[in-house]
Structure 1
Amino acid sequence: MGAAAGGLREELRKLVGEHVPPDFLGAFTDDPADLETAQRFCRTLADRGLLCIAWPKEYGGEDASVWEQTVVREEMWAHHEPRGAQYMGVNWVGPTIMRHGTDEQKRTHLPPIARGEIIWCQGFSEPDAGSDLASLRTTARREGDGWRVTGQKVWTSYAGMAQWCFLLARTSTGERRQQGLTIFLVRMDDPAVEVRPIDCLMGPHHLNEVFFTDLKVTEADVLGTVDEGWNVVQEVLAFERVGIARYARCERLLMDAPRALGDAWDDLPEELHVRWARMLTHCRRARLLAYSVLHRQSEGKVRPGDAAGYRIAVTRLDQDSAEVLMDIIGQAPREGEDLRRFRAAVADHFRYAHASTVASGSIDVQRILLARHILGKA
């Protein structure tokens, strides 16, 4: 990526070292201080022009390249995402509003995202519409000069803390289920919106049910064209699936293992050393796949199959590296502060690796998308 990217990487690591506690394992834990750490760090990045570095200056960015934004993405994910939920607004909500929003929507939503002040959630999946998203049942019906939204979403990350929701609802029926879907930008503090947390192994805030009961929205809340939201969703999912640099965390944890174990590293079985080295090569493969998709995105040529191929590789990497790391710490000594922190980080990674099987579309759905792409069906 060049010298500029190297300097940016060093700057980001320095900021993390200065502003993020060494025990930080993400914003969404049982300790409210972790979320506040993330919110403060977002403002720190924003003050330095680093939060939305690749956004146009007119929207609060620095007109940096997609590769500089990739450096930010990699360093944040490698350090347990100290931006908290802001990656959602930065990676795809904001850019989608830039491409499809009205001037008023851009004025309303982009500055708060660029300042790190607003958290978004995604209202896509439903109890009977997860991987088959087009079968969703949440409806928005015309009423006067606006719409009434009724339905349920599920697995909605950050819904309990978000101020806004990027909501997909059915506004009409057509020959294909993908027709007649519309995107609405809705406030989460409306009394017609109810959030119910779902307990899960990843901790609070990650998963929620969200109920919309006669939620009143207006034409000003519609993003893009009514009934044509599916095209925007396909674009969103491609950006979302590539926008989280999971390989960076895998690589950092793998590289941390010898340091954390110290002399005990040499005592590990040779077979475990071989598996560790293999995982490092898989990290590099996933990184290169991500870079190829990002290059296509920057040229406006990204296809669903491109993102699906990357998603399959990085999901397998998540799970396979977690197994290797768990085996490593299973044979490590128990004492030492470095080992304690490393053990906690590996356990956190192991939990996320299991969730990554279905997050942003299950791995089986990604295989179907990739197969369609290869066969020329998508």
Structure 2
Amino acid sequence: MADFRARIRSWLAENLSGEFASLRGLGGPGREHEAFGERLAWERHLAAAGWACVGWPVEHGGRGATLTEQVVFHEEYARADAPAKVSHLGQELLGPTLIAFGTPEQQRRFLPGIAAVEDLWCQGYSEPGAGSDLAAVATTATLEGDDWVLRGQKVWTSLAHVAGWCFVLARTEPGSRRHHGLSCLLVPMDQPGIEVRPIRQLTGTSEFNEVFFDGARTARDLVVGEPGDGWRVAMGTLAFERGVATLGQQVGFRRELETLTELAASCDDPLVAERIDRAWVGLEVMRAHAIRTLGDPAPGVAEVSKLVWANWHRSLGELAMLVRGAVGLVTEGGLDEWQRLYLFSRADTIYGGSNEIQRNIIAERVLGLPREARP
């Protein structure tokens, strides 16, 4: 494993140079707009060298890396301060979903474009009335001849304004309720009947979007899994979302904490020192939990992991504002890194499954407690 780590570390050091040297650290949360075209070119360079989909099986265009090798890759990518990826949704979510649930025809059609970073994807799950509660999805898809016709609205759709395709969770069985009658459809974005409206965030950027489907179409065979099996497919996708890439995320967290600790060195407030210590302990617990449960499909594991990192990172943003003091309330020509961290981390406990939903899942499905009253 040391050889594998040394190989990827050496490759990143050698290749994050020249035209790509200026991309280090760009494109993180709240900064998705930074050097988008250049970061896309970097990812295609990464893909050409075989470092794009390290965990995919070789027969599907990946490197066939073990779980441990995948962790090492994501850690080294983060340690090199390599730019945030623009193809994350395709490579880390949809690609593994197609490998697990897609037909051979779907795999042959879509996996090569994802692996080469030629096709960018977005995820059409959340809706105004169905955020973390995906079972409340109301967007419909009706079969008309050889096409599914979609009508409805999605919200908080990351990178929909640049994506060529969207994997959409829609209700395909009229009269169905909750998790029954849903299907996962692969929908081209560049067509009549689709409107994308950017949502301006607290950070001033617009990574998120509203997406309106008004008669948009996709082919009959572009259903992942069987029609009506969308809930199982969607849960599989969410499990992939919380996979080994989170270990690389924690490297970024550690960098933020170390930098904040240096900033707090001149602060005499004992409360600040105590919270710095607690943050360090929390980060160690987070990593230990992630490694202990790596690849564990047991119910509740993914939900606990989401609660741990989301709450920790939100607290770090609050700690940064405490360290900055009154200076942190003032902007001069735009947000600094700590203001951006504080504002964007408010969303950490919401996106990818809100705290409330994660706790309900743990309580009801793992601990067997009574279900929360629902309308």
Q: Per the shorter chain, which TM-score range?
A: 0.7 to 0.9
2:53–2:115 Cα contact (<8 Å) kept: yes
Say how many residue pairs are matched.
361
SS at match of 1:90: helix
Question: Matched residues in 2 for 1:167 and 1:79: separation?
Answer: 34
**Counterpart amino acid of 2:362?**
L
Question: Matched residues in 1 for 2:280 and 2:14: separation?
Answer: 26
Q: TM-score, normalised by structure 1?
A: 0.85
**Structure-1 residue corresponding to 2:164:** 163
1:76–1:83 Cα contact (<8 Å) kept: no
**Structure 2 counterparts to residues 354-369 of structure 1, below 5 A:** 354-369=346-361
Question: Matched residues in 2 for 1:161 and 1:230: separation?
Answer: 26
Greater CA drift, 102-111 or 26-35: 26-35
The structural deviation recorded for 1:121 is: 0.5
**Structure-2 residue corresponding to 1:337:** none
**Counterpart amino acid of 2:9?**
E
Greater CA drift, 63-72 or 311-320: 63-72
**Structure-2 residue corresponding to 1:306:** 301
**Structure-2 residue corresponding to 1:345:** 337
The structural deviation recorded for 1:185 is: 0.6
Question: Matched residues in 2 for 1:33 and 1:227: separation?
Answer: 39
**Structure-2 residue corresponding to 1:200:** 201
Question: Matched residues in 2 for 1:240 and 1:357: separation?
Answer: 15
**Structure-1 residue corresponding to 2:269:** 269
Q: TM-score, normalised by structure 2?
A: 0.86
1:171–1:226 Cα contact (<8 Å) kept: yes
Question: Matched residues in 2 for 1:352 and 1:365: separation?
Answer: 20
Task: Name stretches of at least 5 consecutive residues in structure 2 with no aligned partner.
Answer: none
The structural deviation recorded for 1:189 is: 0.6
**Structure-2 residue corresponding to 1:327:** 322
1:89–1:113 Cα contact (<8 Å) kept: yes
What does the per-residue CA deviation read over 1:215-246, in whole Å, with 9 as the maximum and x for residues that have no partner? 12222211110011101111111221344444
1:93 aligns with 2:94: yes
Name the Cα RMSD after superposition.
2.9
Question: Matched residues in 2 for 1:124 and 1:314: separation?
Answer: 22
What does the per-residue CA deviation read over 1:302-342, in whole Å, with 9 as the maximum and x for residues that have no partner? 14411000000001111112222333344999xxxxxx9xx
2:121–2:167 Cα contact (<8 Å) kept: yes
1:249 aligns with 2:248: no
Percent identical pairs in the alignment equals 35
The structural deviation recorded for 1:352 is: 2.4
**Structure-2 residue corresponding to 1:10:** 9
| Cα distance change, pair 6–77 in 1 and its aligned pair in 2 (3 A) | closer
Greater CA drift, 54-63 or 163-172: 54-63
Greater CA drift, 8-17 or 187-196: 8-17
SS at match of 1:294: coil
| Cα distance change, pair 268–108 in 1 and its aligned pair in 2 (3 A) | farther
| Cα distance change, pair 139–175 in 1 and its aligned pair in 2 (3 A) | closer
1:156–1:210 Cα contact (<8 Å) kept: yes
The structural deviation recorded for 1:105 is: 1.2
Question: Matched residues in 2 for 1:289 and 1:275: separation?
Answer: 21
| Cα distance change, pair 20–37 in 1 and its aligned pair in 2 (3 A) | farther
**Counterpart amino acid of 1:192?**
G
SS at match of 1:107: helix
Question: Matched residues in 1 for 2:309 and 2:201: separation?
Answer: 22
